[in-house]
Chains A and B, each alone.
Chain A
Amino acid sequence: MTVAATDSETTGQDRKPGPAAANGYEPNMVLANQTFDIVGSRPVRHDGADKVTGRAVYGADVTLPGTLHGAILRSPHAHARILSIDTSRAEQMDGVHAVMTAGDLPDAGDKIVDVGEGDTPLAYVHGNVLAKDKVLYQGHAVAAVAASNAHVALEAASAINIEYDVLPCSLTAPDAMRPEAALLHDDLVTKELGEESNRRSNVAEHFRWTKGDVETGFARADTIVERSFDTATVHQGYIEPHTVTALWNHDGRLLLWCSTQGAFVVRDVVSTILDIPVSTVKVTPTEIGGGFGGKIPVYMEPVAALLSRKTGRPVKIVMSREEVFLGTGPTAGTHTRVKIGASADGKIQAMEAELAYEAGAYPGSFVVPGGMCVFAAYDCENVAVDGYDVVVNKPSCAAYRAPGSPQAAFAAEQVIDEVALRLGLDPVEFRLLNAAREGTRRADGPKFRRIGCVEVLEAVKNHPHYSAPLVGPNQGRGVAIGFWFNAGLESSCTLNVNTNGTVNLVEGSTDIGGTRTSIAMQAAEVLGISAQDILPEVVDTDSVGFTSVTGGSRTTFATGWAAHDAAQKVVDEMKTRAAMLWAVEPEQVEHSKGTYTANGSSATFQELAAQASRTGGPISASATVKPRGVGGSFAANIVDVEVDPETGKVDIVRFTAVQDVGKAVHPSYVEGQMQGGSVQGIGWALNEEYFMGEDGTMRNSTLLDYRMPTTLDLPMIDTCIVEVANPGHPFGVRGVGEANIVPPLPAVANAIHDAVGVRMQRLPMSPPAVWAALAKT
């Protein structure tokens, strides 16, 4: 392992020059394992100029000639039966062109569909787009209007009269699991350990995975710690609200422009909901202002489509910030219990977890991946994990960066910390003693391939931050580790070679954070040309092969792999062309770093590209991939906090994020992922929550009251890139987007414990919560 160059953009001005700075320590370390020419360098991103000048076109920037503006009427109640809807007054208003309700959607019947998250009743998918008989959360969409401008549309929406019969609501998992709880769905029966039960309840599913025998394991333990934890509902918090423009064209095609994480998913789901052939729909993904998983679901697209069909005009709908909070994506609030036992020699003997996650209004809380991740960092013989997917009267959960894993880690990593303390072991040494490795089998079945759990923990142990003294009173240090997968799914890429030796790269992955460039760099590496000579373009669903969502940390990994494979085909074609020029066999042509040679003849990529017309015509290649059995990523944090004993306020004094990234294609953007994920985790740990009244209404649906971290709340976020090559990928890349949000929740909690001796079992660890915990000691 070599220590490669550190970050290029250093500053010279540190806020609080810590002890590390005094030692000449440079932030943003890279522990590189393999070096390439282009992969691992830091070119300027291809879409950069457009994004710093305001020229890039995001969802709300699309306006077609003759566009009407839509607005959605949402339920004021968390749970109510719809008795009647009267749209007559709205319809008669000046400037109103169309009004619609759930009755305008095609009948869902009892069809079961797979819209990317397993089998789901179509009625649930429809129900979340527009409520039919019942509203299941405050903000549930009920009706929609298209009008001459957005103000008229809003006024018309509020002129729709709806009579509700308000019902009692269930707001948290424990609350909704009570036998006497108000039921959200009349037809929901619990899937109990894989079998359909006939029990009607709010529990959509209860699963259990076991490995070994936990009873035997706990009997061997010298120390057992068991605690329960709660986490609040939080939002992904992307800065760009959801938006869509729809045009149901007179040739019968439905054209959609939206900021989505997956244009093909929108195409497929919209065609399913509207019951039209998939080829009828063309989705053009615009630039996207953040997603974090929350821009995978389809909300307004079918509504805008039907309003466009009714009016024969383009219809644009843009959500307000309040609608984003009330009507889209939060992640599950959870109630969890974790029990861990270890013997005096520091070996973990048994681990047990019970995870109850709020799904929101419809099943699908991401408790399954939570269960897969909860003990993923540990090699333990005896494990049992129980999971409950529970519907509650809150918005239907959407994925949020490593969905399900942070809440599980908040519980597991605090109990680990406590066991280590009781055994008198260093918390990193304790984790290393029990760390998962290649071949370790998780409780849910799969065995790990080559993973970097040990290397990440070693990097934590060796990091100057870990041994630096704390610099003030009421300060404490915490560590934690977390895991997330690397989805493979499906990607496509086409390369078209220009005669001046540049290459147009066509792909279908929404670029949320620099992936045009990280994908182009992988093609450039294979072709032996510069990243700037590749011109990447993200195109609509008519213009590239199927590509799954930008999610699951898969874009640089999988679409980059497709680009690699397409580039390999271009290299083969170039060999054929060179062979033709030199009258040799293609197998005799060698390629290295963009130069082709055979029998003393030599030509560059650019030279061969210039002769394409003479050697058989345009040079173009496509590739598609569906990677399987791919490895995941471990991330760990070292965090120093300072707790104000008088107010309970917690400040982050120093923060280091360590992550196994396989191979950092563009290290600056990898660091950016690690920093951004860390800060979302810090917000989740310290501040963020949906404040709900007992009636299920949200009391803080603005960005003033739902307080996400600002510049003032944070220090610089240091990173340490660890590279343990992913054996599946041509450059060893692992997905890096998500695992980094997992460890901050428990790492901050462990640091608070180290600082002031209280064990925080509930998120957020806001000043009143910490103050109350301190008051009890």
Chain B
Amino acid sequence: MQSIHVRSTINGQPAEFLCEPRQSLLEVLRDVLRLTGTKEGCNDGNCGACTVEMDGRIVPACLVLGAEAEGAEILTVEGIAKGSALHDLQSAFLTGAALQCGICTPGFIVASKALLDQNPNPSEDEIRLWLANNLCRCTGYDKIVRSVQATASLCREESST
């Protein structure tokens, strides 16, 4: 099968790769680029473990073809922390015990960040609606929702000072 040459930006860095036409963006990230932080739970768009941001929208990477990344800007969980400092959401997930096994966490972090980027003051309902595509089997979601709320109020405090 003829490979396709793709140029995109991943986590702020130019990324060039070859992929087969049938390879999903999830396979490219994990198997070609070895960015294994993005997880596979279902490979059909129904668990959210593979959530990445693509040109400002969150998408399940398993439902995007690698070739579709041409010219796109992609953000994965590996691009959330800035240097050696965790993002506030990542810290909030840790202090709020929002993960147990942690397999869903990369997807939740990427999705929650996208929510807070566009809505710094979400209600509980808005958080629950936004995160409904991300399954977590361990936590019952309580501490995840609270950690997103805690991050939002922290951001509000920071921006008001």
Contact = CB atoms under 8 A, between A and B. Distances in A.
B101 A13 contact: no
A703 B41 CA distance: 9
Contacts of B139: 672, 675-676, 679
B137 A676 contact: yes
Residue of B123, B124, B134, B143 ringed by the most chain A CB atoms within 10 A? B143
A49 B142 contact: no
Interface stretch (A169-177, A622-630, A707-715): A707-715
Interface string A208-228: 000000000000000000000
A54 B106 contact: yes
Interface string B128-154: 110111111111111111110110010
B138 A240 contact: no
A593 interface: no
Contacts of B103: 58, 238-240, 287, 289-290
Contact of A11 (B30, B37, B81, B149): B149
B135 A710 contact: yes
Nearest to A289: B103
A12 B142 contact: no
A669 interface: yes
B143 A668 contact: yes
B103 to A, nearest CB: 3
A772 interface: no
Interface string B1-36: 000000000000000000010100000001100111
Given A44-B94, A51-B99, A716-B145, A239 B136 contact: yes
Nearest to A714: B141
B36 A151 contact: no
Contacts of A320: 43
B78 interface: yes
B50 to A, nearest CB: 11
Given A14-B124, A53-B37, A239-B136, A321 B42 contact: yes
Contact of A13 (B46, B105, B123, B143): B123
Interface residues of B, number: 66
A287 B106 CA distance: 14
B140 A287 contact: no
B107 to A, nearest CB: 9
Overall SS of chain A's interface: loop
A324 to B, nearest CB: 9
A711 B97 contact: no
Interface centre among A52, A668, A678 (most CB of B within 10 A): A52
A415 interface: no
Contacts of B123: 13, 15
A289 B149 CA distance: 25
B29 to A, nearest CB: 10
Contacts of A677: 140
A302 interface: no
Given A9-B146, A52-B109, A239 B137 contact: yes
A708 B135 contact: yes
B46 A703 contact: yes
Chain A contact-residue range equals 35 or more
A427 interface: no
B77 interface: yes
Contact of A287 (B93, B102, B135, B143): B102
Interface string A228-264: 0000000011111100000000000000000000000
Contacts of B132: 710-712
Contacts of B30: 60-61
A321 B141 contact: no
B97 A289 contact: no
A185 interface: no
B128 to A, nearest CB: 4
Contacts of B124: 11, 13-15
B145 to A, nearest CB: 7
A664 to B, nearest CB: 12
A285 B63 CA distance: 30
A55 interface: yes
A319 B140 CA distance: 25
A512 B44 contact: no
B100 A513 contact: yes
B58 interface: no
A239 B100 contact: no
A677 to B, nearest CB: 8
Nearest to B49: A239
Contacts of A290: 100-101, 103, 137-138
B120 interface: no
B53 interface: no
Nearest to A290: B101
B46 A53 contact: no
Interface in A41-58: 42, 44-45, 47-49, 51-58
Contacts of B80: 53
> Most A CB atoms within 10 A — which of B40, B77, B80, B138?
B138
Contacts of A56: 102
B143 A54 contact: no
A702 to B, nearest CB: 6
Contacts of B150: 9, 11
Nearest to A288: B101
Contacts of A668: 96-97, 143
B86 A53 contact: yes
Nearest to A12: B153
Contacts of B99: 48, 51-52
B140 A321 contact: no
B47 to A, nearest CB: 5
B61 interface: no
A514 interface: yes
B100 to A, nearest CB: 4
Contact of B100 (A52, A514, A711): A514
B86 A9 contact: no
A253 to B, nearest CB: 26
Nearest to B149: A11
Nearest to B138: A676
B44 A702 contact: yes
B148 to A, nearest CB: 10
B36 A54 contact: yes
A739 to B, nearest CB: 15
16 contacts: A11-B124, A49-B94, A51-B102, A52-B99, A53-B80, A53-B86, A54-B106, A238-B103, A241-B41, A291-B101, A512-B100, A512-B101, A676-B137, A703-B41, A711-B132, A716-B146
Interface of B: 20, 22, 30-31, 34-47, 49, 76-78, 80-81, 86, 90, 93-97, 99-106, 109, 123-125, 127-129, 131-147, 149-150, 153
Given A237-B137, A672-B138, A710-B132, 11 more contacts: A11-B153, A12-B149, A45-B97, A55-B37, A56-B102, A58-B103, A60-B30, A61-B30, A321-B47, A710-B133, A712-B129
